[in-house]
């Protein structure tokens, strides 16, 4: 539910271009009804300038065990100033929140990632969603 609420904050905003250069994996046919898809990225991201002017970016890692570091460009400070970094993860890929255990998967505040000039270096945990927010 928390993820859906966060994506709702992006509604009506301006979708910003995101380019990923990195490893992928192939999804083959077999028991699935979907066609095979080559080179699916291990990392997926969406960035939106919200109606309030803030930029929100969700980064999803499909890596099972590997933490990867992404380099994000903020050319000319176009995104604004990084205000927050949160990570949503759990101790296993099948964990979910339930009424009896509502906090198995939650967003946790993280220190702001290091920045060199216009480049931000963000460590992305396996099986996680990293949520970044820039403010003007």
In a domain, 27, yes or no: no
In a domain, 28, yes or no: no
- Our separate counts of H helices and E strands in the chain read 1, 11
In a domain, 24, yes or no: no
- What is the structure's pLDDT at 46? 94
Task: Residue 130: give its domain's CATH number.
Answer: 2.60.40.1180
pLDDT in tens, 80-113: 999 999 999 777 778 888 888 888 888 999 999 9
- Which residues, including other chains, have CB under 8 Å from residue 82's CB and lie 6 or more apart? 74, 112, 113, 115, 120, 132, 133, 134
Domain count, the chain: 1
Is residue 72 predicted with pLDDT exceeding 90?
yes
- What is the structure's pLDDT at 65? 87
In a domain, 6, yes or no: yes
Q: Answer yes or no: pTM beyond 0.85.
A: no
- What is the structure's pLDDT at 76? 87
In a domain, 92, yes or no: yes
Average pLDDT value over all residues in the chain:
87
In a domain, 119, yes or no: yes
In a domain, 88, yes or no: yes
In a domain, 34, yes or no: no
Boundaries of domain holding 61: 2-19+39-135
Is residue 1 predicted with pLDDT exceeding 60?
yes
pLDDT in tens, 8-67: 889 999 999 988 877 777 777 655 566 777 777 789 999 999 999 999 999 999 888 899
């Amino acid at each position: 539910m928390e993820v859906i609420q966060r994506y709702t904050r992006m509604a009506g905003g301006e979708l910003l271009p995101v380019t990923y250069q990195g490893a992928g994996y192939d999804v083959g046919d077999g028991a699935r009804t979907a066609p095979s898809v080559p080179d699916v990225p291990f990392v997926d991201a969406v960035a939106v300038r919200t109606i309030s002017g803030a930029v929100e970016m969700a980064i999803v890692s499909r890596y099972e065990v590997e933490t990867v570091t992404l380099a994000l460009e903020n050319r000319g400070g176009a995104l604004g100033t990084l205000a927050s970094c949160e990570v949503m993860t759990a101790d296993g890929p099948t964990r979910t929140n339930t009424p009896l255990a509502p906090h198995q998967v939650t967003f946790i505040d993280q220190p702001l990632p290091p920045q060199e000039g216009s480049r931000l270096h963000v460590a992305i945990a396996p099986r996680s969603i990293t949520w970044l927010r820039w403010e003007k």
